[in-house]
Structure 1
């Protein structure tokens, strides 16, 4: 499997059709293919050799797409960097994988000198609008000055990219992804999530995250059209959907929640939308139902994955969101195994498969699974058991093969000897009409060991007392599952991938304790 084959197919079969729309810039697949080959020539002229790492610190753009493919064409390894990291975090990652070249755009141009100094990076490229600093090469100048480079990319188990984890459970790690990992993931996305050459996809998730880059690679393989936003903004997304007649989006639940509750949502024509893939974290049923009501002609597909599994590993098709002749609704499930992916529910830490319906840890195996972490052999060994990837996510598989996420294994609350899964409590709280967002965590309790604590964000102009929230939950849950305390915030802390950072919510409660849930 060759990563470059996806672009080559698009150029061959869809050359005259629009490949990417970035603001007012539109490029065809033929133009993208030519620019990628020339940029690859520029990288080689700068001294990039097969296996070298090339870092990218930038917002989403057409140039970013070209850089990812040009790096691969040159035989090098792309390393997209988290745009929400501090300079300290970015510098630490750079020292971890020692890139030959650093690529930045205007948003990070001012950080480049310090990052290069700390990591000893000799060469840098500036892409996108704005002046090119004297100590950098210009993206457009490299394209103009160099002939197309014949493909010298790798294949199969050759390393193609390093993607750093979100770091919500510890120090970020560089996940190694091969040509085979990325190519199989792209094919799987097309098969499971229905990309085609007619798809017009809105990219709002950052390309440094697989929720942003894998649909980029899959839609390139399909020959569809990429519509880019530099980052997610609810009103900008709605305006772009209306203007560009976007047919497909990927949103994490927090984005869907924002769109549904935006005061100007009804002002925009979103009728072109036909598919929305949601995932990256569990979604409350009330948020999903509100989104379906706002977009009645749109189908929703849930996807589940993680960086170590090259994104998509479970999917929940639209028809299983409802009761039908096939059986009861599976809307509460996360999905069933994607093509080529083996899924097992086992005791935490691995072992023999548990009976259907019994909760344990979700384990994965298949051609999308990473060979390991960059320069972290011990962490790699700890992530696997007998060839299976330990996801750290808790769940069970029902009789029809659908996996239900119960929680992060470490997020399970043990209160008075009873297991409480935070997602179940969050779903109940989300159903309260005053609640816009919420997270449920464990806090120390002298009486119960751990107590259920709710952190909520109320809708504008709405509120509720702790007693009202608890009574609302008590009508839906067993008493031991209901919150024993409530905290109100203006917003919840989010990771770069849009996930709620529960470790940040827990930290003040467990700081002086010998034992902590995370």
Structure 2
């Protein structure tokens, strides 16, 4: 028997098995009227009502519905009300400029655009057949309660979502994820993370980012209450963990740092000690950060690696029982690796050191960009664009984005390694290492650092700190203190923006 996978399977199970349980707790502090606490049965009613609303608007199966929103119950509902009933959801990063959002809406040929009230004015000029400002006024049109939606014949190979890349390079590309890739990612992610119906999930990760890494689906399938956070604040994360008994969350390293900072001023026992699992990705965090998460917070640290193009899970690094007796430093050194391949994932590296992957979670293609699709999938392997090494234990370590490897005097230098070394200095709060032009060496290593509040350190001290710990040719030749570093909404350093001023008058960048 063959039964096609569908993204709606996860909500259908939640409605059947956990219908009376709280499914989502909406963000109370938002410009739209919050939906409050919804049971999974009620969430299922909202999803069906949204599908019926799209029917009434004449938006057919396969058409795109774009949404620009902070984390909210309405956004979470759309993963099922849009995607689960045969349309294609396009979640857009709300931090993008109006021009960038307009480009995405036009490029994906969206039939409808759903907009967070906070962005209503800035996005008013975007041309789209149907536009709705999320909130109580538009609910009557978007949700047709009591009306049964048109039946959709489930097709696991149909595109379920188009997720635009984060823009760490240039124009974002529309990643086509199918119902099959979403289903496999959510199921294997939940399996590796040990998700059960006794968990409580906190949505600190933006849901627009690769569908919240698939957590809206995975958590629904296991009946897990989902707590929505609209804006990231370290102390507020701790308060909600305390209030709702949160056991698992996903976060970029920058969010982890915000929590660690807030914990310094927390009065009493840190919420979630010996209970919370924090799943981290976006960039390899320094080993000192991993040690602090496990010692200062008392949370379990889990590292994953993946891309929007892989739904995203490719590898996971969760400490096995064999590591329990290791000293904190050794344990952190093992956890800093990207991890072992997830179930159903095959990895290898090319001759140039690029990480290649095969899996059911890999994208179908880039929307309306066949040439770009051929570049990354043409030989039957997905080309990640990341450099990495597979060790004897089968674990992957990411050395760098290919474009971020610094070649100085013929030597390849991993900016990640240099960043980790600089981050071990107590005065350094954030760091980005880039290559800048050099007449003799082609390029040389420059460190951009943000210092801890009140900290003082000289350029020579930081360079000397590096030379004491890594090979001399890997040490920065210059250090510049910044007040902040350019990042994407998910915490990734935008190194192309950091490099741009140094290379703008050069033919090679």
TM over 0.5: yes
Query: Whole-Å Cα distance in 2 between the matches of residues 115 and 177 of structure 1?
Result: 25
What SS does the aligned partner of 2:208 have?
Answer: coil
Q: Which one is further off, 286-295 or 151-160?
A: 151-160
2:341 pairs with 1:337 = yes
Q: Which residue of 2 aligns with 1:278?
A: 280
Q: Which residue of 2 aligns with 1:28?
A: 39
Query: Whole-Å Cα distance in 2 between the matches of residues 107 and 401 of structure 1?
Result: 46
Q: Which residue of 2 aligns with 1:218?
A: 218
Query: Whole-Å Cα distance in 1 between the matches of residues 251 and 84 of structure 2?
Result: 30
Q: Which residue of 1 aligns with 2:70?
A: 59
Counterpart contact for 1:242–1:268, Cα < 8 Å? no
2:427 pairs with 1:426 = no
Q: Which residue of 1 aligns with 2:507?
A: 514
**Aligned residues between the structures:** 493
Query: Whole-Å Cα distance in 2 between the matches of residues 259 and 227 of structure 1?
Result: 17
Q: Per the alignment, do residues 491 and 328 of structure 1 end up closer, same or farther by CA in structure 2, a change over 3 Å counting?
A: closer
Counterpart contact for 1:437–1:456, Cα < 8 Å? yes
Q: Deviations over 1:53-103 (max 9, x none)?
A: 111111111111112211123311000111011111111111111111111
Q: Per the alignment, do residues 34 and 263 of structure 1 end up closer, same or farther by CA in structure 2, a change over 3 Å counting?
A: closer
Counterpart contact for 2:26–2:228, Cα < 8 Å? yes
What SS does the aligned partner of 1:41 have?
Answer: helix
What SS does the aligned partner of 1:115 have?
Answer: coil
Q: Which residue of 2 aligns with 1:238?
A: 238
Q: Which residue of 1 aligns with 2:130?
A: 123
Counterpart contact for 2:436–2:503, Cα < 8 Å? yes
Query: Whole-Å Cα distance in 1 between the matches of residues 310 and 109 of structure 2?
Result: 24
Q: Which one is further off, 301-310 or 208-217?
A: 208-217
Q: CA deviation at 1:329?
A: 6.0
Counterpart contact for 1:205–1:211, Cα < 8 Å? no
Q: CA deviation at 1:268?
A: 6.5
Query: Whole-Å Cα distance in 1 between the matches of residues 449 and 286 of structure 2?
Result: 14
2:114 pairs with 1:103 = yes
What SS does the aligned partner of 1:237 have?
Answer: helix
Q: Which residue of 1 aligns with 2:33?
A: none
Q: CA deviation at 1:247?
A: 1.0
Q: Deviations over 1:200-248 (max 9, x none)?
A: 1111222110262511111111110100011322222122112222111
Give the 5 Å matches for 1:364-513. 364-513=357-506
2:314 pairs with 1:313 = yes
2:177 pairs with 1:188 = no
Q: Per the alignment, do residues 374 and 321 of structure 1 end up closer, same or farther by CA in structure 2, a change over 3 Å counting?
A: farther
Query: Whole-Å Cα distance in 2 between the matches of residues 337 and 192 of structure 1?
Result: 11
Q: Per the alignment, do residues 269 and 101 of structure 1 end up closer, same or farther by CA in structure 2, a change over 3 Å counting?
A: farther
Q: Which one of the candidate residues 15, 19, 22 is aligned to 1:18?
A: 22
Q: Extract unaligned runs of 5+ from structure 1.
A: 130-136, 349-359
Query: Whole-Å Cα distance in 1 between the matches of residues 263 and 84 of structure 2?
Result: 45
What SS does the aligned partner of 2:293 have?
Answer: helix
What's the TM-score, normalizing by structure 2?
A: 0.93
Query: Whole-Å Cα distance in 1 between the matches of residues 88 and 56 of structure 2?
Result: 16
Query: Whole-Å Cα distance in 2 between the matches of residues 34 and 508 of structure 1?
Result: 52
| Aligned alpha-carbon RMSD (Å) | 2.0
Query: Whole-Å Cα distance in 1 between the matches of residues 382 and 491 of structure 2?
Result: 23
Q: Which one of the candidate residues 41, 47, 50 is aligned to 1:39?
A: 50
Counterpart contact for 2:55–2:150, Cα < 8 Å? no
Counterpart contact for 1:196–1:224, Cα < 8 Å? yes
Q: Per the alignment, do residues 264 and 393 of structure 1 end up closer, same or farther by CA in structure 2, a change over 3 Å counting?
A: same
Q: CA deviation at 1:166?
A: 0.5
Counterpart contact for 1:48–1:74, Cα < 8 Å? no
